[in-house]
Structure 1
Amino acid sequence: MIPPIIPPNAAPGEHLVFQRLASDPATREWTVLHSLELAQHVRQVQGEADFVVIVPGKGIAVIEVKSHRQVTYDEQGWKLGFQRPTARSPFKQADEAMHSVRSYLISRNVQLKDTLFVSGVWFTHTRANLPASPEWHPWQVLDRQDFGRGAGHAILRLLDNGRAHHSRLRALPPVPGPDRQKMDAIAKALRPRVELAAGTADLRRERDAQLTSFLDEQYDALDAMEGNDRVLFTGPAGSGKTFLALEAARREAARGKSGWLLCYNRALGKDLEQRAAGAPGLNAGSLHSTLRSISGLDIPDDAGDSFWQEELVDAALEKLLDAKHERDFLILDEVQDLALPGYLDALDLMVKGGLAGGRCLFFGDFERQALYGLSDSHRALMARTSVMSTYTLTANCRNLPRIGETVKVLAAMSPGYRRFRRQDDGVQPRYYWYTARDEQEKLLGQAIRDLRDEGFELDEIMVLSPRRAGSAAAACRDKWLRRVLVEASIAAPRGHVGYSTIHAFKGLEAPAVILTDVDEPLLPQFEALLYVGLTRPRDRLSVLATKEAIAPRVIGEQS
């Protein structure tokens, strides 16, 4: 399926055809293009083919989809649902789209002598009892009953009847096409990979300029909450929470206040520490590194949850009781991961007035990014504060729209992002399917080369996995990959591709992300991990996955 997911705003009938074709085993070797824009239409300034189905050894079927539950054809013309009658036949629409596709391929020097073209109309939500007419052939009509034997069977029936019809009119080659090579050439001609003529350097400059303007707009959220001592900012990934937390900390420090800017994730803590450097009176980093510094404890080699959540906290609490580490303000990013009783006890002693009466700003995503089993973290935080205002962020200012739409579908976001502030560049996320884990090595190499060929520097690419051990990047044996890949929690050295776990990269972002090892939907926290991984890239997303792991999310059945 190209693209491999269907936009949520597509017509219901298109959703149904897409889902049934994608899930039908008979279509495994087919190439299906959905919503193909036709800039060179034979009749209109611009048109569209709902589906172009390329079937090896059979031909190409161009399908017009009509989702209406009531279809009438009489002397007044076509009446589809509650629309006004029109003389324009859906079969004429399909035929014109088919000829537009064929003419375009010929103009691109794609040889089509052995390739059959047919068109049809699929009335997905009704039984199409149409009268005989010279405007169409009965075999060009598909309706809801055709889903009974499978969407693939319906397309094959259309192509076989089309071949029989054309055989009576003209000689057809004994060996029908297209073959695999021709299929790839046709698909590439119709949906070429979009290359950025301006180059990735221009893309980076444009992205940085966009983010600056977007963040200026996001800062209005801080201005709106300026008069409130305690505020909880919530929002999905990509809505600017970390940028706002950093800006809020800088504003407080600029007023001569001292304070903490803390988070859960170690890599994000290091990033915040670097970016907050130079702000007087501001201490930034992860909560664990801060507690270790306060307590003076050494980290044992076998440190586990009991050390981080109990021993370290208890040792830090003894030091915090003397109020020497108390500051004017406390700002927490990733607060959904910090709402354990012990952590909250320590944080309560780190700000003047405590969590209930001090200057405290919290930033978090309680719905999607709680990776550490703190399902009740919102309630735990609210129990420690008194009056606290809430501000909800809904706009995505990190991801390009097509990445954001992919996140909405695969992570089942509801209602999802209200809007995207970055302009669409027309490039879809790429999927590399595998059936066995050892197939990933070759696919990972291909994914990196694809991004490099597009113009991304190697150090702009980050490979993420839900696995802590045995990930595709860590286990690869390919000489080139072993030379290029390096484990990195924030960014890789120049000339190298970094790889990390999704857990470790939480709160961070990269220009291009390759998500690997997506093959265990029953893994604990799988949905949260998938969501976090998918939302890390700013410009390009590549996914190495089994169809079984994410197909139900992409092509979930509809009644």
Structure 2
Amino acid sequence: MAKMIPPYLSADCKSPGEKLLFDRFRTDPATDDWIVLHSLGIAKHPERLSGEIDFVVVVPGLGVLCLEVKAGNVRRYDGFWICGSGINQEKSSVGPFRQASDGMHAIKKYLSRTDQSLSRILIYSGVIFTYINFDEESPEWHKWQHADRSRIYSTPISEVCSRMLRCAHEHVRSTPSSFWYDAKASRPDKEQSLQITNILRGDFECVFPLRAAIDQTEKQIIVFTEEQFAALDTLDVNNRLVFRGPAGTGKTFLAVEAARRSVLSGKKTLLICFNRMLGQWLNQATKSFRDQNSGMLTAGTLHSVMRSMIKTENAADYSQNYWNKQLPSLVIESILEESLDVPQFDMLIVDEAQDIIKEEFMDVLDLLLTGGLSGGKWAFFGDFERQAIYTQFSAGTHSIDCMEILRARSPFHFVYPLRINCRNTLNISVGIEVACLLDPRYSKVLHAESGSDIDIEFYSTAEEQQHKLLKQLSSLRNTFSNNEIVILSPKENTVSCAEQLSAADTHAYLSPFHTDIPKTVTGYATIQAFKGLEAPAVILTDIEELEGYYAQALLYIGMSRARIHLVLIMHEKCRKKYLEINEQGLKIILGGQSGKS
């Protein structure tokens, strides 16, 4: 994947062709050592007061390619080029080939003047027509100097650009006047490629402020999730659906949208999850359309629904056995004895379903849903391989297969796979794939920006970990608001690093996390409690174990909560295992072996 400069596609970019190519350069694995500058301004243009090159592609071992991109219709009439249509139509005597060539000469002249050692580097121009077929011939351009729709959609962008540069080498080498050309010296090595980039970026790049990048990313989250709403259209023709996908694929947002659609269609709907914090978030997220459709939607945790039926009090005094065994049994007995006015729901939606699919809970849901699980209408959203820390595994031993239980209850249902990551930045997504051995990988990462690298710290003592946590907090608070940062730990709050730091330093401004935490405070919670939620910046602390399913699942859940910035603070004893896991994860990405064991 190429290094994109700037790493973010500006919101000002209106060209669908440039957006298409930006994504192609960013995701093509064959462009790994390439550097691509987008929308490079030229202050000293040879023909005009100023100019712009759509893409400057720096390819080590080949050269520099200046590309002009045309996304609409193109024709030439009476010597004028007419590009685009309607109000976006442009008419000019300077066609796209001349535009690209002028930009190329400006770059070549500037580089030679700035650093004479770069004067022999091959720099050439080309044109890409992204949405039309272009087979016109003219002495004004070479046949190999352009690529059209048929080539762009059938050939990787790396091969399209490499072919242009290879042909440019052949052309220049056979031209007698190109005395400057040298078969070796005209091909930039990696150091010269960086040198070229630094010269051009130093003069032409407008840096995209990190705070602005964060704001833009936050605005894009809902938009990205909307692209996946097409998956919900399958509910119109299938009454029972499992939406199955890894962390970050938009399952919770899709669950909320499914609830909204269900309520608007007149169905009495139950939207539930397992985790208390996620239940509070679901309740808040659905408030607007729940208030507008009184009585049509119940949202929260399954336990809160059961408690409302039994009218339990002093909930904090009850044991796990009560919540997982006794309470479901009480509800079922009361329903069967007809001592309860049982609410019947037309639609059941379960988020983080892997935490709820166990026999006791499924018995309750079977009785609450009209038609039951076998004949009623439902949608289950879950990560059934990686996040089943409450049902599928117990103390690292396989005990329950969620999908087997579901198939036994409802043999006739469909599974809809979700593999597009619409939560995490590219670097965090790749970090999850590597450190958590995600196989298969995400099919696509929708955030165009790469984001910051994952920060990793190792500690030996509790005091050292507190010091590193405070240092990371101070650094992150230069960019993020206090409440945009969340500290997560596999340990209970009372013994976590965050609580110890909070007790030792009141100016750390830390507090146990809740969904409406004030902007002046940074929240902390267990990874388990925060499951299903997300935050712009996440710091994982108290990582003391990486062996076994449960420890690896918690690492995966914790890492995948971070949208933009991620920090790992782990014990020194984990260093060797962490490096081993990363080596294995890289082999998966490179196609060397499967990460499943």
Tell me if both proteins adopt one fold, taking TM over 0.5 as the criterion: yes
* Length-normalised TM-score, structure 1: 0.65
Residue 386 of structure 1: how far off its partner (Å): 3.4
- Distance (whole Å) between structure 2 residues aligned to residue 421 and residue 310 of structure 1: 41
Alignment of 1:20-59 (within 5 A): 46=58
Identify which of 211, 235, 249 aligns with 2:221. Answer: 211
Identify which of 544, 548, 551 aligns with 2:576. Answer: 548
Alpha-carbon distance change, 554 to 437 in structure 1, aligned in 2, over 3 angstroms: farther
Residue 259 of structure 1: how far off its partner (Å): 1.8
- Distance (whole Å) between structure 2 residues aligned to residue 91 and residue 519 of structure 1: 52
Runs of 5+ unmatched residues, structure 2: 4-25, 38-55, 62-165, 174-180, 393-399, 593-597
Asked if residue 465 in structure 1 is aligned to residue 475 in structure 2, the reply is no
CA contact (8 A) 1:48 1:97 kept: yes
Percent of aligned pairs with the same amino acid: 33
> For residue 360 of structure 1, what is the amino acid of its counterpart?
W
**Partner deviation per Cα, 1:258-284 (whole Å, 9 max, x = no partner):** 121000111000110111122431000
Which residue of structure 1 lines up, in the alignment, with residue 244 of structure 2?
234
Which residue of structure 1 lines up, in the alignment, with residue 326 of structure 2?
311
Which residue of structure 2 lines up, in the alignment, with residue 449 of structure 1?
474
Residue 195 of structure 1: how far off its partner (Å): 11
CA contact (8 A) 1:352 1:358 kept: yes
Identify which of 295, 302, 305 aligns with 1:290. Answer: 305
In structure 1, the residue corresponding to 2:386 is in which secondary structure? coil
Alpha-carbon distance change, 99 to 229 in structure 1, aligned in 2, over 3 angstroms: closer
Residue 390 of structure 1: how far off its partner (Å): 1.3
> For residue 224 of structure 2, what is the amino acid of its counterpart?
F
Residue 360 of structure 1: how far off its partner (Å): 1.1
In structure 1, the residue corresponding to 2:552 is in which secondary structure? helix
- Distance (whole Å) between structure 2 residues aligned to residue 361 and residue 542 of structure 1: 34
Which residue of structure 2 lines up, in the alignment, with residue 336 of structure 1?
354
- Distance (whole Å) between structure 1 residues aligned to residue 348 and residue 318 of structure 2: 27
**Partner deviation per Cα, 1:36-75 (whole Å, 9 max, x = no partner):** 9699xxxx974669xxxxxxxxxxxxxxxxxxxxxxxxxx
CA contact (8 A) 1:445 1:481 kept: no
Alpha-carbon distance change, 324 to 318 in structure 1, aligned in 2, over 3 angstroms: same
In structure 2, the residue corresponding to 1:369 is in which secondary structure? coil
Alignment of 1:357-368 (within 5 A): 357-368=375-386
Which residue of structure 2 lines up, in the alignment, with residue 370 of structure 1?
388
- Distance (whole Å) between structure 2 residues aligned to residue 275 and residue 232 of structure 1: 22
- Distance (whole Å) between structure 2 residues aligned to residue 196 and residue 451 of structure 1: 19
Alpha-carbon distance change, 45 to 373 in structure 1, aligned in 2, over 3 angstroms: closer
**Partner deviation per Cα, 1:282-305 (whole Å, 9 max, x = no partner):** 000001111111111224544222
Asked if residue 354 in structure 1 is aligned to residue 372 in structure 2, the reply is yes
Which residue of structure 2 lines up, in the alignment, with residue 126 of structure 1?
none
* Length-normalised TM-score, structure 2: 0.61
Residue 524 of structure 1: how far off its partner (Å): 5.7
**Partner deviation per Cα, 1:286-339 (whole Å, 9 max, x = no partner):** 011111111112245442221111121122223433362111111111111111
CA contact (8 A) 1:509 1:537 kept: yes
Alignment of 1:151-190 (within 5 A): none
Asked if residue 243 in structure 1 is aligned to residue 267 in structure 2, the reply is no
> For residue 254 of structure 2, what is the amino acid of its counterpart?
L
Alignment of 1:54-453 (within 5 A): 97=190, 197-200=208-211, 202-277=212-287, 278=291, 279-280=293-294, 281-321=296-336, 322=338, 324-374=342-392, 375-453=400-478
- Distance (whole Å) between structure 2 residues aligned to residue 329 and residue 38 of structure 1: 49
**Partner deviation per Cα, 1:517-537 (whole Å, 9 max, x = no partner):** 222113660111111111101
- Distance (whole Å) between structure 2 residues aligned to residue 351 and residue 366 of structure 1: 22
Residue 92 of structure 1: how far off its partner (Å): 8.7
Alpha-carbon distance change, 96 to 264 in structure 1, aligned in 2, over 3 angstroms: same
- Distance (whole Å) between structure 2 residues aligned to residue 263 and residue 510 of structure 1: 19
> For residue 484 of structure 2, what is the amino acid of its counterpart?
E
- Distance (whole Å) between structure 2 residues aligned to residue 426 and residue 212 of structure 1: 18
- Distance (whole Å) between structure 1 residues aligned to residue 242 and residue 335 of structure 2: 24
Q: RMSD of the alignment, in Å?
A: 3.8
- Distance (whole Å) between structure 2 residues aligned to residue 91 and residue 495 of structure 1: 59
Count of aligned pairs: 410
> For residue 441 of structure 1, what is the amino acid of its counterpart?
Q
> For residue 538 of structure 2, what is the amino acid of its counterpart?
V
Alpha-carbon distance change, 215 to 97 in structure 1, aligned in 2, over 3 angstroms: closer
**Partner deviation per Cα, 1:93-135 (whole Å, 9 max, x = no partner):** 9995457779999x9xxxxxxxxxxxxxxxxxxxxxxxxxxxx
Residue 498 of structure 1: how far off its partner (Å): 0.6
CA contact (8 A) 1:402 1:429 kept: yes
CA contact (8 A) 1:463 1:514 kept: yes
CA contact (8 A) 1:239 1:394 kept: yes
Identify which of 536, 551, 555 aligns with 1:526. Answer: 551
**Partner deviation per Cα, 1:503-525 (whole Å, 9 max, x = no partner):** 00000011111111222113660
Residue 393 of structure 1: how far off its partner (Å): 0.8
Residue 416 of structure 1: how far off its partner (Å): 1.4
CA contact (8 A) 1:320 1:350 kept: no
Alpha-carbon distance change, 485 to 389 in structure 1, aligned in 2, over 3 angstroms: same
Which residue of structure 2 lines up, in the alignment, with residue 152 of structure 1?
none
CA contact (8 A) 1:297 1:312 kept: no
- Distance (whole Å) between structure 2 residues aligned to residue 531 and residue 318 of structure 1: 38
In structure 2, the residue corresponding to 1:363 is in which secondary structure? strand
Which residue of structure 2 lines up, in the alignment, with residue 485 of structure 1?
510
- Distance (whole Å) between structure 1 residues aligned to residue 509 and residue 366 of structure 2: 45
- Distance (whole Å) between structure 2 residues aligned to residue 386 and residue 401 of structure 1: 38
Alpha-carbon distance change, 482 to 372 in structure 1, aligned in 2, over 3 angstroms: farther
Residue 495 of structure 1: how far off its partner (Å): 0.7
**Partner deviation per Cα, 1:145-200 (whole Å, 9 max, x = no partner):** xxxxxxxxxxxxxxxxxxxxxxxxxxxxxxxxxxxxxxxxxxxxx9xxx9974452
CA contact (8 A) 1:240 1:396 kept: yes
- Distance (whole Å) between structure 2 residues aligned to residue 255 and residue 336 of structure 1: 27
Which residue of structure 2 lines up, in the alignment, with residue 121 of structure 1?
none
Which residue of structure 1 lines up, in the alignment, with residue 531 of structure 2?
506
Alpha-carbon distance change, 255 to 36 in structure 1, aligned in 2, over 3 angstroms: closer
In structure 2, the residue corresponding to 1:462 is in which secondary structure? strand
Deviates more, 1:442-451 or 1:546-555: 546-555
Which residue of structure 2 lines up, in the alignment, with residue 60 of structure 1?
none
- Distance (whole Å) between structure 1 residues aligned to residue 509 and residue 431 of structure 2: 28
CA contact (8 A) 1:328 1:351 kept: yes
